[in-house]
Structure 1
Amino acid sequence: MSSRVTQLDVLDLDSYTTDLLIRKEVDKCMRLFSSPVILQLKPYVQTALYATLLYHTVGKYQQTVAQRLFGVIMIDTQNPNHVQRWKILCYIAAEAFGFLWSEKYDAGHPDFLSSWSKTTTVVNFIHNMARVSRLCNFLLFLNKGQFSRLLLLALGLKVCAENPGEVGDVSYTILGREILWRGFAEILVETITQFDLSKIRRYIAKGVATPTDHNDDVARLKQCCVCSEWPTQPHESNCGHVGCYYCMSVCILEGGQCPTCSSTISNIKMVGYV
């Protein structure tokens, strides 16, 4: 397995190479044409060139341009000696689709999704969820150093040294960056654990929930107002909300404020089970 710094450098160099060879060169050529029809074809021309580049690099050598320069290669986690052809083709197809999506969606082309007005909300939701997934995978990569991209994780491909037996030069800069990334990952993981996910979940649920009848005892006894789980030894506060005995006791110890209505909890009493 190659180091985190090497994999991050590969991502940066691949992005720079794509921008230099595909986007900028096609932009120069498109300046010679003034027809709007030809200009609308630019994202598709760029995608075709990018797919061709991937076919002659990843498709033949299992390496991108940057991976070739850094001496790393993509291998299959299930069979390190052979990468199945369908995985390589899926990688090229997903990369080409992602490139076209970034050129059309992220670039804000006015014609994109214009005919899909009813599905625009769904597409935006999927796009945002993909961003969140990439962020989570990146945090996992900083912690474990295995899959720098979500696509590699989905296909079961990892980036390793092409010649593991060879020992390369390790400079002070590379070693310092590796230590910095490891420290950053540990600090980030430690920071994330400090967030109270139950409070965040209650806050979101409170914002999207519809008003309910608080006199419905059956509905109230099915969910703790603090942890949002089935209440253990349910107790009711003086403001009418039900929660676990432990959760309600903790609320009183922390200041006596109800997490649902922010009223002051002066006493709690036990209620029956559902």
Structure 2
Amino acid sequence: MSITYIPRVTQLDSLQLDDELEELFKNLLFQATKFLEPGILQPILPELELLIRSWIFKYSVWDKKCTFGQEMLSLKYKSENFSKSKLYWYYGYTVGLKYLKERALYSFTSNRKVQSVLNSLETFQLIGDIFNFLRFIQSGKHPAFIDFILGIELAADKVIREDLTDFSWTRELLWHNFIELIGTTLSLVNMFGLRQKLSKVLKYVWWRNHVRTSTKSLPASMNINTVCASCSDKPILPHVMGCAHIFCYYCLKANKIADADYACPKCYYNGKEISKFIVL
């Protein structure tokens, strides 16, 4: 008897079990080769991981239409909508794509074009995972992004985890994964660029009286009480950008590199040129 409803926590547990199983095989490989010469496996490490993932795929999804993690929890893909062509696409996404990424990281480290393409693919994949996870929380179907793309669904042969009555564990697991996704997403956001775009919008509303790009300013002066306009400490290698305030060289240069339209946090003057402060 096939059961339609499957708890979300059970589906997420199956993904976690699959990841742990792969890590277990890798650890066994490293333990078996730990007495070899250091670094001997590094050139072929992507190929070894490809063999491990291919072996896992062959004896799980290819033969049984379920991963080992799903099999442990009595889950299985519905065979009526899991054709052989979808199996190939599933393998290409879950195994082949990871291998291409890892091999490119080893072989094309200095190739900026290849690294840029990889970063773009990784970003698109991450965005897809985020939206799929939000959709999964709402619908309870397709916990993995590739499942949603191929339209394959899970079914349970029997009721599992009948003793799971405290749904706070489910909520805690879902929120934990959601917070991890938010943290990963925020790490990819360019805060300086975001601030620049917000500044362009806000300066036409209520910030227009503060932001200045070409107005004249008083000459900078320095005394014993002068502090950096950015870090509020004594300026190290004092530099200016056209306003009356003094910066540390590192503070000013780093902010200008990150955001070309960086404005003075004290007077909002947006100077384009950085120069060393000279005491007259």
In 2, Cα distance between the equivalents of 1:69 and 1:41? Answer: 31
1:156 corresponds to which letter in structure 2?
A: G
1:4–1:178 Cα contact (<8 Å) kept = yes
1:5 to partner: Cα distance = 0.6
TM-score by structure 1 length? 0.58
2:133–2:143 Cα contact (<8 Å) kept = yes
1:127 corresponds to 2:126: no
Match of 1:8 in 2: 12
5 Å matches for 1:176-195? 176-178=168-170, 180=172, 184=175
Match of 1:19 in 2: 23
Q: 1:9 to 1:35 in 2, by over 3 A?
A: closer
Match of 1:29 in 2: 32
Match of 2:197 in 1: 206
Q: 1:97 to 1:205 in 2, by over 3 A?
A: farther
In 2, Cα distance between the equivalents of 1:100 and 1:138? Answer: 24
2:73–2:160 Cα contact (<8 Å) kept = no
Match of 1:170 in 2: 162
In 1, Cα distance between the equivalents of 2:169 and 2:88? Answer: 33
2:101–2:118 Cα contact (<8 Å) kept = no
1:66 aligned residue (57, 61, 69): 69
1:51 to partner: Cα distance = 0.6
1:171 to partner: Cα distance = 1.4
In 2, Cα distance between the equivalents of 1:74 and 1:15? Answer: 18
Determine what percentage of the aligned residue pairs are the same residue: 17
Aligned residues: 195
1:42 aligned residue (45, 54, 70): 45
1:26–1:46 Cα contact (<8 Å) kept = no
1:124 corresponds to which letter in structure 2?
A: N
2:132–2:145 Cα contact (<8 Å) kept = yes
Match of 2:95 in 1: 96
Could you tell me which runs of 5 or more consecutive residues in structure 1 were left unpaired when the two chains were aligned: 189-199, 210-224, 227-238, 242-250, 252-256, 264-274
Match of 1:247 in 2: none
TM-score by structure 2 length? 0.57
Instruction: Name the SS for the 2:133 alignment partner.
Output: helix
Q: What do the CA deviations read for 1:43-96 (whole angstroms, capped 9, x no partner)?
A: 211211211221111001101111111001112xxxx63521111122122211
Q: 1:38 to 1:175 in 2, by over 3 A?
A: closer
Q: 1:34 to 1:87 in 2, by over 3 A?
A: same
1:148 to partner: Cα distance = 1.0
2:82 corresponds to which letter in structure 1?
A: V
Instruction: Name the SS for the 2:80 alignment partner.
Output: coil
Structure 1, 43-52 or 12-21: larger mean CA deviation: 43-52
Could you tell me which runs of 5 or more consecutive residues in structure 2 were left unpaired when the two chains were aligned: 180-190, 211-280
Q: What do the CA deviations read for 1:231-269 (whole angstroms, capped 9, x no partner)?
A: xxxxxxxx9x6xxxxxxxxx7xxxxx26xx367xxxxxx
1:30–1:39 Cα contact (<8 Å) kept = no
Q: What do the CA deviations read for 1:131-188 (whole angstroms, capped 9, x no partner)?
A: 2221221122122211111111111112221x2xx44452145644235567x59x99
Q: CA RMSD in A?
A: 3.6
Instruction: Name the SS for the 2:82 alignment partner.
Output: coil
